[in-house]
Amino acid sequence: MSDLNYKLNANIKAAELSSVFKLSGLKRPYEDLPRLERMIENSDILITAWENDKLVGIARAITDFSYCCYLSDLAVDQEYQNRGIGRELVRLVQERIGEEVTLLLLASPIAMEYYPHIGFDKVNNGYIIPRKK
């Protein structure tokens, strides 16, 4: 297996994002390519992990680069999990946003034990109005 390569704001296709979402095990609308295209276009930070020409992981974030950053997606193809890819994607997001910015997220139920393992603190003072679709 070759080395992994990480890219900032790479030009990715909705089909590539769809594949990573599907193969990661996360619940995402991977069949809705127009929606995925909008998710790509409207991200402030998009950090991707590649093995050769294959997208194997992604961190997608929305931020003001001043106070807060929402990590909207952290997905790694299950075949590539447990290799430190997620941790490195988060580190690269943190490097990009700097020390003044809080990184926050809503964890997928399957990842509740993962985030504390890579340095996130659990918080209990949040609220949500969930999406309808």
For the chain, list the domains and their CATH numbers: 4-117 (3.40.630.30)
Q: Are 40 and 16 in contact (CB under 8 A)?
A: no
Place of tokens 């990009």: 96
pLDDT tens for the chain, 133 residues long, are 458 999 999 999 999 999 999 999 888 889 999 999 999 999 999 999 999 999 999 999 999 999 999 999 999 999 999 999 999 999 999 999 999 999 999 888 878 888 888 889 888 888 888 888 8
Structure tokens at 83: 């290799």
The long-range contacts involving 80-86, CB below 8 angstroms and separated by at least 24 positions, are 80/49, 80/51, 80/56, 81/24, 83/4, 85/4, 85/49, 85/56, 85/57, 86/57, 86/114, 86/118
